[in-house]
């Protein structure tokens, strides 16, 4: 089973930055990520421009990428939506994979959507059904699946109940997101193993934030439990703006290096990914966030 890599830097990464990045630079970074061998790239999210101004140009970005035609064949362009209006915009942009999510934390759910977990789940499932009727592939996620920045521990029963609702509606692409970066490898392996036993035909994905340096270890634990799709961000950017403990994502270049060294993704252009991460980090003035990038910088010859 070949692991799939889902680059979420253009969405989850950029939404955490104060700067509104120029459209052309976004397009270049997305094209570079696709060219390096990544399987999916999350272009942006269809949310209200005043709520997340960094992603207000997602529609224009999809159009620009289609016009330029530089995305490597086979790469899926994904996007996030939160409501019915977001779905309309996603359909107009011919999104390859629509990502929708519900938080297992009541506090996080209300801060993020203004709704309880149950209310949000009902709305998201209705939107997902509409998307599938239009022929759009859907991935549903459980946010705060391993803990909440406000509530702390999130009972696994809540996570399992949400996944059960997804399965009951026929969904077979499901992601667990560690929104607050509180996951530990033992819990990751246990929870995913339980889900894999209950639904062996489902393609599970994982999304880890590196709050205390366990992100890459958690990815390995998920891999051991049979998870196939891994979400990460170039240069380790990211962090949910609606949670109390915001931390960057697992760095794509670090995750790619791990999978390559395990002999699972020899096709990836690690140099290209590291160069992209270095460009992204330099643009935002970041020093940390990626072990591979820092190692490459130390090894570079002095001019």
For the stretch 163-213, pLDDT in tens is 999 999 999 999 999 998 999 999 999 999 999 999 999 999 999 998 788
pTM for this one?
0.94
Q: What is the pLDDT of residue 150?
A: 86
Q: Give the residue carrying structure tokens 């890599």.
A: 5
- Residue 101 pLDDT > 50, yes or no? yes
pLDDT tier at 1, thresholds 50, 70, 90: confident
The residue among 41, 62, 36, 45 whose CA lies nearest residue 229 is: 41
Q: 45-85 pLDDT, tens per residue?
A: 999 998 899 999 999 999 999 999 999 999 999 999 999 99
Q: What is the pLDDT of residue 302?
A: 36
Q: 126-170 pLDDT, tens per residue?
A: 999 999 999 999 999 999 999 998 899 999 999 999 999 999 999
Q: 235-252 pLDDT, tens per residue?
A: 999 865 555 445 689 999
Spatial distance between the Cα atoms of 151 and 108, rounded to a whole number of angstroms: 8
Q: What is the pLDDT of residue 212?
A: 81
- Reading the block at residue 128, the tokens are 């997902």
Q: What is the pLDDT of residue 248?
A: 86
Q: Is 229 a catalytic residue?
A: no
**What residues contact 109, with CB distance under 8 A and at least 6 apart?**
102, 103, 115, 116, 117, 120, 143
The one catalytic residue in 93, 148, 206, 240 is 240
DSSP, collapsed to helix, strand or coil, labels residue 253 as helix
pLDDT tier at 298, thresholds 50, 70, 90: low
- Reading the block at residue 85, the tokens are 């209006």
Q: 106-123 pLDDT, tens per residue?
A: 999 998 888 999 999 999
Mean pLDDT rounded to a whole number for the chain: 92
Domain ranges across the chain? 4-299
Q: What is the pLDDT of residue 227?
A: 98
- Residue 303 pLDDT > 70, yes or no? no
CATH of domain 4-299: 3.20.20.70
Helical ranges in the chain per DSSP H: 23-35, 58-68, 84-92, 106-113, 117-133, 156-168, 185-198, 215-224, 252-261, 270-284, 291-299
pLDDT tier at 301, thresholds 50, 70, 90: very low
Q: What is the pLDDT of residue 139?
A: 98
Q: What percent of the chain stands above pLDDT 90? A: 83
């Amino acid at each position: 089973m070949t692991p799939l890599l889902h680059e979420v830097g253009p969405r989850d990464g950029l939404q955490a930055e104060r700067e509104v990045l120029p459209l052309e630079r976004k397009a270049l970074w997305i094209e570079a990520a696709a060219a390096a061998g990544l399987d999916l790239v999350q272009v942006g999210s269809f949310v209200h421009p005043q709520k997340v101004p960094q992603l207000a140009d997602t529609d224009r970005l999809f159009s620009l990428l289609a016009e330029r035609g530089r995305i490597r064949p086979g790469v899926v362009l994904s996007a996030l939506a939160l409501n019915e209006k977001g779905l309309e915009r996603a359909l107009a942009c011919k999104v390859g994979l629509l990502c929708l999510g519900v938080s297992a934390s009541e506090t996080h759910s209300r801060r993020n959507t203004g709704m309880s977990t149950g209310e949000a789940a009902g709305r998201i499932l209705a939107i997902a059904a509409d998307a599938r009727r239009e022929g759009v592939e859907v991935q549903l996620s459980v946010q705060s699946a391993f803990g909440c920045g406000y509530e702390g521990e999130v009972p696994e029963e809540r996570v399992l109940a949400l996944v059960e609702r997804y399965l009951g509606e026929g969904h077979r692409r499901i992601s667990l997101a560690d929104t607050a970066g509180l996951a530990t490898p033992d819990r990751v392996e246990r929870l995913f193993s339980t889900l894999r036993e209950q639904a062996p035909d489902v393609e599970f994905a994982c999304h880890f934030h590196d709050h205390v340096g366990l992100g890459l270890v958690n990815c390995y634990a998920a891999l051991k439990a049979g998870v196939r799709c891994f979400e990460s961000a170039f240069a380790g950017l990211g962090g949910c703006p609606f949670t109390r403990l915001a931390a960057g994502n697992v760095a794509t270049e670090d995750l790619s290096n791990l999978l390559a060294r395990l002999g699972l993704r020899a096709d990836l252009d690690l140099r290209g990914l590291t160069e992209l991460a270095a460009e992204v980090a330099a643009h935002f003035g970041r020093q940390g966030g990626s072990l591979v990038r820092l190692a490459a910088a130390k090894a570079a010859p002095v001019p």
